């Protein structure tokens, strides 16, 4: 297991960001983001980092599974 150190910096304690997403993706993104946010519609940096790590791991696992599936399909031809 490798330990990584992550530094999160901010110019202020509270900052709002606007992001533009494709309409269909925005619906899914908003649902998942709402699960992480508190009653003030804010998210702590630690929780955001935790969510990012979780999503990155899920992506890693999916990519690994797809590679294995592609190998199986190529070997069956």
Query: Which pLDDT belongs to residue 17?
Result: 80
State which residues of the chain have pLDDT below 70. Answer: 1-2, 4, 6-13, 77
Q: Which domain holds residue 65?
A: 23-76
Decide: pTM greater than 0.75. Answer: no
Domain count of the fold of the chain = 1
What does the pLDDT read at residue 46? Answer: 84
Nearby residues of 10 by Cβ (< 8 Å), 6 or more positions away: 45
* Residue at 67 is within a domain: yes
CB distance 42 to 14 below 8 Å = yes
In a domain, 56, yes or no: yes
Residue 75 makes CB contacts below 8 A (sequence gap 6+) with: none
Whether 15 maps to a domain, the answer reads no
For 48-66, b/e burial (b = at least 16 CB within 10 A) is eeeeeeeeeeeeeeeeeee
Nearest to 14 by CA among 45, 53, 50, 54: 45
User: What is the per-residue pLDDT for 9?
Assistant: 66
């Amino acid at each position: 297991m490798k330990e990584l150190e992550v530094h999160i910096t901010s110019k202020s304690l509270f900052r709002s960001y606007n992001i533009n997403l494709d309409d269909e993706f925005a619906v899914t993104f908003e649902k998942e983001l709402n699960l992480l946010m508190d009653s003030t519609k804010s998210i702590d940096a630690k929780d955001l980092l935790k969510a990012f790590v979780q999503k990155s791991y899920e992506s890693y696992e999916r990519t690994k599974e797809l590679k294995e599936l592609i190998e199986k399909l190529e070997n069956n031809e």
